[in-house]
Amino acid sequence: MATDILVIVPVEPPIAHFADSVVRQTSGGRLHMPLTQAFHEFEEYVGAALELYKPSQRPHFGGEMWPPVIGTKAADFLASRAAQPPRRTLASITLATHLERAGLRWEVVDPGMQELHYWRKRFEQARANNPTAIAICTTFIVCEPWLRALCHVIREVLPSTKIIMGGYYYAVNVKKFLALDADIFCVGEGEQRLPAIVQALKGQRSLEEIPGLYIRRPDGGTHHTGSVEQLDMNELPIVDWSLSTRVEPPIDPIATPVATWVETQRGCVFSCEFCDYRTIQTPAVMTTDRAAEAILAAGVSPRGSVRITDSTATFPHKRWEEVLQKLIERGGSKAPLWCFARVSDINERSAELMKLAGVQHMFIGQESGDQRVLTEMKKGTNVKQVRPAVAALAKHGLNATFAFIHGFPGEDDASIQATRTLIKTLNDGHEDRPVALLYLAQPLVLFDLATVSQRPEMQGVDHWMAYDNARFPPQRALAEVLQTVMEVSRIPHAPAYLLMPGTFPGYWEEYFFFSPHRYEVFRWMKALERGVAIFLERDLEGTKPNDAELARLKEQILARREAIPVWRSRAERMAARAQRLVVQRLTREWTNEGKTGPGPLTRGLMGLSVLRDTRNPQLAREALKTGVYPTLGTVNLKESELDSLAADLRDESLGVEHRRRQVAAARKAFVPASALSRRGPNGEPVTPGASDPAENDAAT
Ligand code: SF4
């Protein structure tokens, strides 16, 4: 029987970053490659491969291998298709829930990180069911060349299937989103509109009557069907996680420990300039009863966890407390909870309630340790709120990941140093049981729909990492991130770096945050991080490695590993050396690429990647010659038409009318009118977060 809709949820693999020349020249060559090089050198020193992807290389805690081996095969670049942790996205289950309710014949593929040849094979398989449409959720993609190539493969393999582009890539780059080779662009919430689009494609209704779509006309032009209203979250059905066994690859959350996700509010009333969560949606909330019900309903994986994906679960305080109280009244969540939080929302009482309700870990976007920069960002929090928040979390045994941006406009040496000092001292006083287990430090990522992109110094930038003419360009920010990694590594109880190559702690969060051995895992990760940083310090600062320190770290690392025979240690040492030399070469090529063009190794790898992705020898030859990933999967729209469509879409998310809708929605949802209608010194409307951090409290 024919399939009505094939939904795919691709997570871009590392090759997507390699295919993007801006990424290669910035975060690739100036952050990840130098760290990877130092990582391999530390492996060489230890005489053992340390990447966690391969089970045989994993440490043991409490007598068990960590992380445990569960899951499906990863993308090729991840240690030759080792098992990746089982993941199920909220997007896949939400869309499956609504397609099922609409009585449509659906297939949803949600396989985690996979490469294009995986997808090609899956599309070839789909031919047998001749899907009417294929919907791409772009939420987990930021590199456009790879996304374009994905569209190209679909056109090649399923030429008569309509392509529906959904998800949030449009927030990354509006113009590139609209230039993709798709038939329908669904901007915003898809729960009700995706089934409606499929019904329209089956001739049961008109596409024109579905708002918020950009429809490609046969002449190549694009037609917009008008703005769409935000959905009432209380009227949406609770997401049906039992459908996870019908999504590919099937994951039974009862048998397999997996993170399940739940969303109880959308949008955000704060005004952080670097953030697009607040611009792509207007605020909407579930009632607190409904929210508690949804959170408990998501707890279907007895050994898993529940992630509350609300952009700010902890705000407004009163609502959060009510949700927590309702969870507590119902016995608390059996599965540990994870949520996004602001330091301004954490105090003794909220921490206690969180503990009782089942919250174990939170992600705190602290962004800076400098008040001037926080104000510049319109973050709406105060640096002074960090220490009391950490103390409250420590008292109740809760943990957190803290995130920081380096290089927001207005940043200077002193503010970066203040941020670094904050990270280094976050866990002071909590050395035995650190609160902050991980930290993320990264340069400003300039998404189109974040208001910082409208600043004069960011005008004309068409890639999230290409603001080279800004006062604090990405190259400088990346150097500062490396400096932060080195300095934080020297403090054994400071949080571990989330993006450390090889171990990549962020990848294994489910097994880390909720493990009874999390503090032992933390110390092991810190030992590894320090080992890597010692070689980084030598490479960047010329510091001679301390032999005694290295020997101690080696002992600490190997004490958790199964002993390996001498021959294997030699082989792993040689493999580490070979990898280090390749990475060293690529680092040199990528950092010089702006001046000399792609180097020979980059061109060789590009040719191979293109051959594998496209199966087209001519394109591969061209890529081998130029080092450029081919331009695939875009349509020849008139530049003026594309500009005008992009301007409209930007205006829908950033314009005055959007702001008005947001304020009205926030007022309706949860913020007293008095807080939202407050006026600034010049009579301008002030929203929470736009000025005084104390407004957070006023707004509740
Ligand atoms: S608090 Fe700031 S960073 Fe967090 S979702 Fe809201 S606007 Fe974005």
Going from the C-alpha of 200 to that of each of 7, 95, 99, 269, 521, the distances in angstroms are 16, 17, 14, 35, 52
Residue 219: exposed, middle, or buried by beta-carbon count in 10 A (0-12, 13-18, 19+)?
A: exposed
- Indicate which atom in ligand 1 lies nearest the CA of residue 275: 8
Distance of CA 217 to the CA centre of its chain: 33
- Indicate which atom in ligand 1 lies nearest the CA of residue 274: 3
Distance (angstroms) between ligand 1 centre and the Cα of 682 equals 25
Average pLDDT for 48-63: 89
Give the CA count within 13 Å in the CB-facing half-sphere of 329: 10
What tokens does 556 get?
A: 């600490």
What tokens does 167 get?
A: 């998800």
Average pLDDT for 507-512: 89
How would residue 670 be classed by pLDDT, with cut points 50, 70 and 90? low
Per the CB < 8 A criterion, the answer to whether 615 and 121 are in contact is: no
Gap between the Cα atoms of 415 and 476, Å rounded = 14
Instruction: Considering only residues 638 and 105, tell me which one the structure prediction assigns the higher pLDDT.
Output: 105
Distance of CA 462 to the CA centre of its chain: 20
Quick check: 409 pLDDT over 90?
Answer: yes
- Indicate which atom in ligand 1 lies nearest the CA of residue 278: 7
The predicted structure's pLDDT at residue 234: 92
Distance (angstroms) between ligand 1 centre and the Cα of 652 equals 19
Tokens 């875009």 belong to which residue?
Answer: 634
Distance (angstroms) between ligand 1 centre and the Cα of 312 equals 7
Q: Give nearest CA residue, ligand 1 atom 8.
A: 275
Going from the C-alpha of 487 to that of each of 412, 434, 536, 537, the distances in angstroms are 18, 18, 11, 9
* pLDDT tens readout for residues 354-377: 999 999 999 999 999 999 999 999
Gap between the Cα atoms of 176 and 178, Å rounded = 6
Gap between the Cα atoms of 287 and 293, Å rounded = 10
The predicted structure's pLDDT at residue 665: 73
The predicted structure's pLDDT at residue 76: 52
Q: Ligand 1 pocket check: which of 168, 271, 275, 402 to mutate, most ligand atoms within 8 Å of Cβ?
A: 275
Say if residue 249 is preceded by a cis peptide, omega within 30 of 0. yes
Q: Give nearest CA residue, ligand 1 atom 1.
A: 270
For 299, the 3-state DSSP assignment is coil
Distance (angstroms) between ligand 1 centre and the Cα of 587 equals 34
Average pLDDT for 24-48: 97
Quick check: 80 pLDDT over 60?
Answer: no
- What proportion of the chain, given as a percentage, has pLDDT over 70? 93
Domain 252-523: CATH superfamily, name plus number: tm_1862 like domain (3.80.30.20)
Distance (angstroms) between ligand 1 centre and the Cα of 618 equals 46
Average pLDDT for 486-498: 98
* pLDDT tens readout for residues 418-471: 999 999 999 999 999 999 999 999 999 999 999 999 999 999 999 999 999 999
* pLDDT tens readout for residues 494-504: 999 999 988 88
Distance (angstroms) between ligand 1 centre and the Cα of 342 equals 9
Gap between the Cα atoms of 619 and 608, Å rounded = 10
Distance (angstroms) between ligand 1 centre and the Cα of 108 equals 30
Going from the C-alpha of 140 to that of each of 147, 363, 675, the distances in angstroms are 10, 18, 35
Tokens 């507590």 belong to which residue?
Answer: 328
- Indicate which atom in ligand 1 lies nearest the CA of residue 342: 1
Distance (angstroms) between ligand 1 centre and the Cα of 275 equals 6
DSSP structural state of residue 685:
B
Gap between the Cα atoms of 561 and 542, Å rounded = 31
Q: Give nearest CA residue, ligand 1 atom 5.
A: 311
Distance (angstroms) between ligand 1 centre and the Cα of 485 equals 25
Gap between the Cα atoms of 17 and 606, Å rounded = 12
- Indicate which atom in ligand 1 lies nearest the CA of residue 311: 5
Gap between the Cα atoms of 94 and 40, Å rounded = 41
Gap between the Cα atoms of 133 and 162, Å rounded = 5
Enumerate the β-bridge partners of residue 363.
340, 401
Residue type, 104: L
Domain ranges of the chain: 252-523, 670-700
Quick check: 685 pLDDT over 50?
Answer: no
The number of beta carbons lying within 10 Å of the beta carbon of residue 618 is: 10
Q: Give nearest CA residue, ligand 1 atom 2.
A: 272
For 306, the 3-state DSSP assignment is strand
- Indicate which atom in ligand 1 lies nearest the CA of residue 340: 4
- Indicate which atom in ligand 1 lies nearest the CA of residue 276: 8
Ligand 1 contacts (CB < 6 A) are 268, 270, 272, 275, 277-278, 311-312, 342, 365
Gap between the Cα atoms of 597 and 599, Å rounded = 6
